[in-house]
């Protein structure tokens, strides 16, 4: 397959849950005021990034829409968690009409091995909207889905509106972080607690900060 290199930047979207977590549809050129940001990225255009397939009975699909005024070439490149490209997994759609959509389904991508997890970078020569859909199967065979939008730039802070650890003895969430900058990143996560929820008493509990290993 001929590879077409397009301007790209990295961004990270995150949050996969055993429970269904709906997110609004996104715009790859969304404006200021959103809270869903992660780390500083290069100031380039027309790209979105989302995690690729994660381990277990869970698959992801990226849906990209050409929101420009001319036909678009839309590409998705896959990287390992260490930032190493996986050329066999790259996919390119050419001549996508204005308003047209294309789906990058990792479950049918023969260039990815079963159980792969990593990062996917969507890029285009036209502005695009992008969504990430996660198809999740629980240990009991039940299906759930999470849908969230992909943003074209990173930041220093992200707010995850909902996380859980064995909520009601069953529901868990997880999130992934990708460094979209050009240097090593030091990341810390601060957990805040809802008073009276789970094992937290009515008086609440002080936040806990995890700075990693």
The residue segments making up the domain with residue 72 are 16-184
Whole-angstrom Cα distance, residue 71 to residue 126? 8
Provide the CATH number for the domain around residue 25. Answer: 2.60.290.11
The answer to the question of residue 204 being in a domain is no
The answer to the question of residue 195 being in a domain is no
The pLDDT, as a whole number, for residue 123 is 92
- From the list 64, 179, 203, 194, the residue with the least C-alpha distance to 119 is 179
Q: How large is the greatest C-alpha to C-alpha distance in the chain, in angstroms?
A: 61
The answer to the question of residue 192 being in a domain is no
Tokens read off for 129: 């909207």
The answer to the question of residue 1 being in a domain is no
The answer to the question of residue 43 being in a domain is yes
The pLDDT, as a whole number, for residue 112 is 92
Total domains in the fold of the chain = 1
Whole-angstrom Cα distance, residue 138 to residue 141? 5
- From the list 6, 7, 31, 14, the residue with the least C-alpha distance to 148 is 14
The pLDDT, as a whole number, for residue 46 is 54
Q: How many CB atoms lie within 10 A of CB 77?
A: 21
Q: Average pLDDT of the chain?
A: 72
The pLDDT, as a whole number, for residue 107 is 87
pLDDT single digits (tens) 78-137: 999 888 999 999 999 999 999 999 999 998 899 999 889 898 889 999 999 898 888 877
The answer to the question of residue 42 being in a domain is yes
If the chain, 213 residues long, is cut into consecutive pieces of 10 residues, what is the mean pLDDT of each piece?
38 28 30 31 46 61 92 94 91 94 91 89 92 79 72 76 77 78 87 80 83 77
Cβ-proximal residues to 41 (8 Å cutoff; 6+ apart), any chain: 9, 10, 11, 153, 154, 180, 181
The answer to the question of residue 197 being in a domain is no
The pLDDT, as a whole number, for residue 48 is 55
The DSSP secondary structure of 126-143, one letter per residue, reads: S-EEEEEEEEEE-TTS-E
Q: Is the dihedral of CA 72, 127, 129, 69 positive or negative?
A: negative
The answer to the question of residue 200 being in a domain is no
């Amino acid at each position: 397959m001929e590879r077409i290199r397009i301007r790209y930047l990295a961004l990270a979207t995150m949050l996969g849950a055993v429970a269904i977590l709906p997110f609004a549809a996104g715009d790859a050129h969304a404006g200021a005021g959103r809270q869903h940001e992660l780390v500083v990225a290069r100031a380039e255009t027309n790209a979105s990034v989302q995690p690729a397939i994660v381990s277990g009975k869970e698959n992801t699909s990226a849906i990209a829409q050409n929101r420009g005024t001319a036909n678009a070439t839309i590409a998705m490149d896959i990287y390992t968690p260490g930032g190493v490209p996986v050329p066999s997994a790259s996919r390119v759609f050419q001549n996508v009409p204005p308003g047209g959509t294309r789906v990058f389904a990792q479950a049918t991508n023969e260039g990815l091995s079963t159980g792969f997890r990593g990062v996917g970078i969507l890029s285009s020569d036209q502005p695009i909207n992008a969504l990430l859909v996660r198809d999740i199967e629980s240990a009991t065979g039940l299906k759930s889905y999470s849908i969230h939008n992909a943003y074209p730039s990173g930041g220093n802070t992200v707010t995850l509106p909902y996380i859980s650890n064995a909520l009601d003895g069953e529901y868990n969430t997880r999130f992934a972080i990708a460094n979209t900058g050009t240097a090593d990143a030091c990341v810390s996560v601060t957990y805040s607690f809802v008073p009276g929820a789970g094992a937290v008493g009515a008086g609440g509990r002080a936040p806990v900060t995890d700075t990693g290993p």
